[in-house]
Amino acid sequence: MKKLNVGLLGIGTVGGGTYHVLTRNAEEITRRTGVEIVVTQVADRNIDHATMVTNGNSALTTDAFAIVNNPEIDVVVELIGGYTLSKELVLKAIENGKHVVTANKALIALHGNEIFSAAQKAGVIVAFEAAVAGGIPIIKALREGLGANKIEWVAGIINGTTNFILTEMREKGLAFADVLGEAQRLGYAEADPTFDVEGIDAAHKLTIMSAIAFGMPMKFEQAYTEGITKLQQADIKYAEELGYRVKLLGISKRSDAGVELRVHPTLISEKRLIANVNGAMNAVVVKGDAVGPTLYYGAGAGAEPTASAVVADLMDVARLQNVPFESRVPYLAFQTDSIVDLPILPIAEIASAYYLRMRGNDKPGVLAGVTKILADRNISIDAMLQKEPDDNETEADIVILTHMTIEKNMDAAIAEIESLAAIVGKLVKIRMEELGK
Ligand code: HSE
């Protein structure tokens, strides 16, 4: 029986899950691959914990470099996170001719271009299914299953923490700050929850998906990122009254002008399946020109869901390690010399429909003034909601949904509306997505 010797860097939540899945399903995995996948060596700072998980069946070390330099190891599984030490370890493993499997979205989004270039020179595999949407095989779908299509757009709920928070805010009428602590307690959040709530984690994952969807380099630093920390309960409620849900979406679209790469709260019609993805679950919609919109749903985090993706990558390595480099699926799905440096559109240039909420004095002509500004800028109104002022109040909330326009046009209209004497304070603007065509 052929054997694949695995070196595991980190045996925490995902590493432990990987170990358990590989052990529990060893027979089934070997039936599928014809290869025995063995965790030969594990590196972790906590040797007691590593001993407990491995039950004495793997060699243990606290020195991760001992694994990347171990000639017995065929493939290194990087599960330590971050992008300083992990980058050094991954590049060293590649230099030593080892294949790499990683769940590290930040590492791939920020340093993927350099890592793939090094891996190509060394002729090794770098697999990263677990880096995006945990257990959902979205990388496999984009790289292979949808390979016949010209991908037009990708949109996803790709951060479980924020989806959990938004679900609780909607279902229980709670404020953002009241729910964050609970999400952290449940263990969904990143070590630094800013990465979750400010949309950075989602932008890492979106960067990776867009590179594979469109055949372009990783462009994380150009992604537009807006989190959910400023989202107010009132907007979730008004959106619901109008038949919409607010989700933190990662959206990447290709047009002749360039690629949109953006993460922000988004109104989606409640009729869309993705609008009904609740709790910590993830979902991605991919639109291909041949297949139309396709939806992928599942657990985006957690020990065994993420391990499911890590082990599937290991199985690919087991099958493909002896296949010539040019016969393997390229890292970013497209041949390396066909990767195109597509321009990323600044947020001011994207096209979107919008939800606007403003507070206006309840007197004649206020709405007419607002709608005139929108009409002058060719922004068409799709729906409107005005609430009666509460007792003793003279101001009312006005909510307007618009059709598509270019963001800078909308921003100019908003500035004009805010300058009207009858409008109080700042407008709230939330982008909307159709996601149907
Ligand atoms: N913090 C991430 C999430 C974990 O909430 O989705 C998986 O990447």
The predicted pLDDT at position 182 comes to 82
Which of 188, 197, 208 most suits a substitution to test ligand 1, by most atoms within 8 Å of the C-beta? 188
Q: Looking at residue 241, which CATH number applies to its domain?
A: 3.30.360.10
The number of angstroms, rounded, from the C-alpha of 81 to the middle of its chain's C-alpha atoms is: 16
Is residue 343 domain-resident? no
Q: Are residues 414 and 366 in the same domain?
A: yes
73 falls within a domain = yes
Whether residue 310 sits in one domain with residue 289: no
Which residues are annotated as catalytic?
205
pLDDT at 187 over 90: no
pLDDT in tens, 262-276: 999 999 999 999 999
Phi, psi of 43 (to 5 degrees): -110, 130
Residues 165 and 213 in one domain: yes
- In this predicted structure, the answer to whether residue 192 has a pLDDT above a threshold of 80 is no
Q: To the nearest 5 percent, what fractions of the chain are helix, strand and coil?
A: 40, 25, 30
Same domain, 123 and 143: no
Total residue count of the chain as it appears in this document: 437
Q: Residue 394: is its pLDDT beyond 90? A: no
Domain check: are 328 and 366 in the same one? no
Q: Which two tokens stand for residue 389?
A: 């002022």
* Other beta carbons less than 10 A from residue 223's beta carbon: 24
| Residue 23 included in any domain | yes
pTM of the model: 0.96
Under 8 Å between Cβ of 82 and 294: no
Could you tell me if 394 and 361 are in contact, meaning their C-beta atoms sit under 8 angstroms apart?
yes
Same domain, 82 and 159: no
Shared domain for 251 and 279, answered yes or no, is yes
**Claim to verify: residue 142 and residue 209 sit in the same structural domain:** yes
Distance CA 283, CA 418 (A): 36
pLDDT score, position 180: 85
Verify that 318 and 262 share a domain, yes or no: no
Number of domain units in the chain: 3
129 C-alpha to ligand 1 centroid (Å): 14
Residue 392 confidence (pLDDT): 77
Cβ atoms of residues 305 and 298 within 8 Å: yes
Q: What CATH code is carried by the domain that includes residue 87?
A: 3.40.50.720
Residues 342-354, mean pLDDT to the nearest whole number: 98
145 and 291 part of one domain? yes
Count CB atoms within 10 A of the CB of residue 2. Answer: 12
Task: State the Cα–Cα distance between residues 101 and 317, nearest whole angstrom.
Answer: 9
| Interval between CA 205 and ligand 1 midpoint (Å) | 10
6 lies in a domain? yes
CB neighbourhood size of 271 (10 A): 10
Domain boundaries, position 15: 2-134+303-338
Distance from C-alpha of 190 to C-alpha of 188, rounded to nearest angstrom: 7
SS3 category, 255 = strand
> What percent of the chain lies above the pLDDT cut of 70?
100
Give yes or no for residue 303 CB within 6 A of ligand 1. Answer: no
Phi/psi for 199 (5° steps) reads 85, 5
Contact 250, 205 (CB under 8 A): yes
Mean pLDDT, rounded, of the chain = 96
Residue nearest to atom 8 of ligand 1 (CA): 301
The verdict on the CB of residue 190 being under 6 Å from ligand 1 is yes
Q: Is there a domain that residue 344 lies in? A: no
